[in-house]
């Protein structure tokens, strides 16, 4: 299911990646509610995912990823649960968080290399390297990733914010919808399915 794979790839791009307590690493999970629309380039765009919108409900540590033409995914960091909703088909599929974390780097080197402005917001540029996975990310002081690019798992690509809206998020948009048919996650999914945009630092 190509749509499922693309959704999973997009979801991991936004999961909190780093230990914010470590001063040499950036805060990645936003500290206040925000919705960000990204333009995607590289393999993700060529596979049918040219853009996506990520919304964070910080009080509940929950993320929603809207994928045009596919539906949306929700990741609840507090409960360690995630699911995908295919609205046109009125179907819902649970995706274990351990699957989401499969194949992600657990260690790496991070280095500040400068500052930039993306979509009208200032951000700090960080270089990231973990083995053969490497890239850069521009992240705001309050944890919003505005740009990420690099190579991971043999794939190269990037994402860049085109619109950033700080506003309270409706908790109802992050809940499981009622009346949808539940389907099982396909068997035989490859390890590293949930790897994010190449070069984006990931959470263990």
Provide the pLDDT for residue 42: 63
CATH code at 2-107+156-183: 2.50.20
Longest dimension (CA), the chain: 49
The whole-angstrom separation of Cα 57 and Cα 195 is 22
Q: Which of 162, 138, 165, 140 is nearest to 150 (CA)?
A: 138
Cα first-last separation, the chain:
26
CB 96 within 8 A of CB 73: no
Note the pLDDT tens digit of each residue in 108-151: 788 899 999 999 999 999 988 877 778 898 999 999 999 988 88
The whole-angstrom separation of Cα 201 and Cα 170 is 28
């Amino acid at each position: 299911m190509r749509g499922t794979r693309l959704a999973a790839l997009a979801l991991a791009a936004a999961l909190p990646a780093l230990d914010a307590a470590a001063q040499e690493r950036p805060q990645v999970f936003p500290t206040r509610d925000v919705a960000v629309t990204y333009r995607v380039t590289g393999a993700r765009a060529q596979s049918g995912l040219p853009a996506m919108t990520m919304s964070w409900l910080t009080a509940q540590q929950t993320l929603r990823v809207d994928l045009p033409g596919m539906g949306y995914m929700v990741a609840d960091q507090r409960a360690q649960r995630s699911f995908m909703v295919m609205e046109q088909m009125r179907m819902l599929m649970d995706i274990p968080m351990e699957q989401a974390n499969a194949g992600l780097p657990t260690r790496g080197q991070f280095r500040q290399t400068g500052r930039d402005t993306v979509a009208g917001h200032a951000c700090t540029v960080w270089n990231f390297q973990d083995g053969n996975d490497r890239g850069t990310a521009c992240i705001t002081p309050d944890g919003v990733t505005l740009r990420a690019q690099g190579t991971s798992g043999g794939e190269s690509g990037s994402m860049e914010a085109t619109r950033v809206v700080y506003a309270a998020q409706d908790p109802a948009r992050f809940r499981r919808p009622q009346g949808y048919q539940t389907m099982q996650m396909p068997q035989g999914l490859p390890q590293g399915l949930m790897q994010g945009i190449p070069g984006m630092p990931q959470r263990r």
